[in-house]
Amino acid sequence: MTTERTVKTPTRNRRAEILEAAAGLFAARGFHGVSIEDIGAAVGVSGPALYRHFSGKEALLTEMLLDISERLREQGARLATTADPDTADAALDALLSGHIEFALTHPALIRVHERELDNVPEQARRAVRRLQRLYVEEWVTVLSELHPACPPARLRAATHAVFGLLNSTPRSAGELTPEAMADLLGAMARAALSPLGVIL
């Protein structure tokens, strides 16, 4: 048991290291602007050595996008169900705080997630989109409890608009501390969602 663990753990750590380095490079240069050799250099190995962990750059991107999509979906489901059961407002606060923390902690992953989906195979693309839809529906469920008269299509549109705000702003945080940026994003997202209470 001990021997097996000591063999597998470095492999998992190396894969995580490669994924993190690749995310930073893809975010900065775009998927097509990065080579396997670039990723290898970022983690201190030769490009061909990366094939021990991933079959190619496309496979690496596929795992990255599936992983972030699943993490967001799981986080959304967990936060929405473990918040104060007596108030949907607490669930919305939890969803906002969780997404903001993720966006501030992993800005490169968020950027890759937003713009590189067309560079993975169709089957993986469908899987990512399914996970994205499930995450959106966690928000829609909570928002529908707060605004029962609001059509679901409007709630989904508002959710995507808030994602756009939360995902793009951390890249231009400037001199704000992460805490100050989190507070600002939370207030701005709440303001963006406030029109849902207005019946059109």
Q: Report helix, strand or coil for 34.
A: coil
pLDDT band at 4 (very low <50, low <70, confident <90, very high): very low
Same domain, yes or no, for 77 and 156?
A: yes
- In this structure, the number of other CB atoms found within 10 A of the CB of residue 66 comes to 15
Reading the block at residue 55, the tokens are 């079959």
According to DSSP H, which parts of 30-118 are helical?
36-43, 57-82, 88-105, 107-115
Task: Measure the CA–CA gap between 42 and 117, rounded to whole angstroms.
Answer: 23
pLDDT tens by residue, 169-181? 766 667 788 899 9
Does 151 score more than 80 pLDDT? yes
Please give the single-letter amino acid code of residue 63: E
**CATH number, domain containing residue 29:** 1.10.10.60
Residue 70 CA to residue 128 CA, distance in Å, equals 8
DSSP 153: H
Tell me the C-alpha distance between 97 and 173, whole Å.
Answer: 17
Number of domains the chain contains: 2
Taking a C-beta distance cutoff of 8 angstroms, is the pair 110, 103 a contact?
A: yes
**C-alpha angle with apex 11: 8 to 14, nearest 5 degrees?**
150
Domain identity same for 125 and 159: yes
Lowest pLDDT segment from 16-20, 47-51, 114-118, 136-140 = 47-51
- Give pLDDT, residue 34: 97
- CATH number of the domain at 79, please: 1.10.357.10
Whole-model pTM: value is 0.86
Q: What angle do CA 69, 121, 110 make, to 5 degrees?
A: 30
Classify burial at 23, counting beta carbons within 10 Å of its beta carbon; exposed 0-12, middle 13-18, buried 19 or more. Answer: buried
Q: Same structural domain for residues 17 and 88? A: no
pLDDT exceeds 50 at position 167: yes
- 98 and 156 together in one domain: yes
- The owner of tokens 């067309």 is 118
196 neighbors 143 (Cβ within 8 angstroms): yes
* pLDDT band, residue 48 (cuts 50/70/90): confident
pLDDT value of position 2: 45
Domain residue limits at 98: 58-197
